[in-house]
Amino acid sequence: MSNGQWYPPEWPDRIRALADGTLTPVTPRRAATVMLLKDTADGPAVHMLRRRASMAFAGGAYAYPGGGVDPRDDERLVAWAGPSREEWAERLGVTAAEAQAVVCAAVRETYEEAGVLLAGPTADSVVTDTTGADWEADRAALVARELSFAEFLDRRGLVLRGDLLGAWTRWITPEFEPRRYDTWFFVAALPEGQRTRNASTEADRTVWIRPADAAAGYDRGELLMMPPTVATLRQLGPYPTAADALAAAAGRDLTPVLAQARLENGELVLAWPGHEEFTKHLPAAPSGPNAQGTSA
């Protein structure tokens, strides 16, 4: 493999099982991830974390802060700034309650994994300091799911700043994966006065890096990444400022990207529609216990 595309050795067998009907796809879980940007003298940098090699899903891969939606955030209304829940619902293609939970997940995961909180005491402010024992206790309770994000916001009297987020793209984990996520990718700018930190137990490293530099590291095989990460890095590259990227989000197509596996001329072809660089060609029948194909 010449680049850094994350490609588990069990994929070929799972793709064949899906093709012959012996594998039943699991239902994807709703999730959200945030591309947090800050301006530098050389253009915007994006905050990325490297998942620990021991992680069951995408171990060792570079990614953005993100995770699954907490269903409890569907149910409890939160103080809200920016587009209404109904506007978010139309944008994300879900119900208003589900839209609230997806946006809550994006903000919660950024706080849990990067220590950055897109919320404030009023609709036009953002907290500037989330350090201290009381904040850390609440963050730990969120991570442990002892506290929903809606409860956290209510307890602290905070307004969720949905206006600081822009929906960028949506990817669904391939049907042959045992862990599947229906993930909305958001873009946001680092609020003034806040700083990132590696607050996640799932990451062993965090970096601020220009999207073009991260994509180049992937191309050289130095940085391991999943297709959605590489695709979004390439999409972010042309924007000269974080504000420009955030403004562009409103016009982005959120049609879900879902990998497809098909039999073609004696080969299994794995492809992500609209993203030809990730196409894989696999032998229709395995040639060994961990037979893998090559990039197209």
CB 195 within 8 A of CB 30: no
Report the SS3 class of residue 188.
strand
292 band by pLDDT with thresholds 50, 70 and 90:
very low
pTM for the predicted model, two decimal places? 0.89
Cα–Cα dist 145/244, whole Å: 35
Run of H or E including 45: strand 43-51
Mean pLDDT estimate for the chain: 87
CB 295 within 8 A of CB 3: yes
pLDDT digits (tens, 9 = 90+) for 223-250: 999 899 999 999 999 999 999 999 999 9
Q: Which fold has domain 24-252?
A: Nucleoside Triphosphate Pyrophosphohydrolase (3.90.79)
- List the structure tokens of 278: 């990730």
pLDDT digits (tens, 9 = 90+) for 165-180: 999 999 998 888 888 9
CB 294 within 8 A of CB 288: no
CB proximity list for 140: less than 8 A, separation 6 or greater: none
Interhelix angle 227-236/211-219, rounded to 10 degrees, is 140
Specify the pLDDT at position 289.
45
Res 191 pLDDT > 60 = yes
Specify the pLDDT at position 295.
35
158 band by pLDDT with thresholds 50, 70 and 90:
very high
Cα–Cα dist 204/229, whole Å: 18
CB 35 within 8 A of CB 232: yes
Specify the pLDDT at position 185.
98
Domain ranges of the chain: 24-252
Q: Which of 210, 242, 239, 240 is nearest to 223 (CA)?
A: 210
Cα–Cα dist 217/225, whole Å: 10
CB 89 within 8 A of CB 99: yes
Residue labelled with tokens 């990817």: 171
Res 59 pLDDT > 90 = no
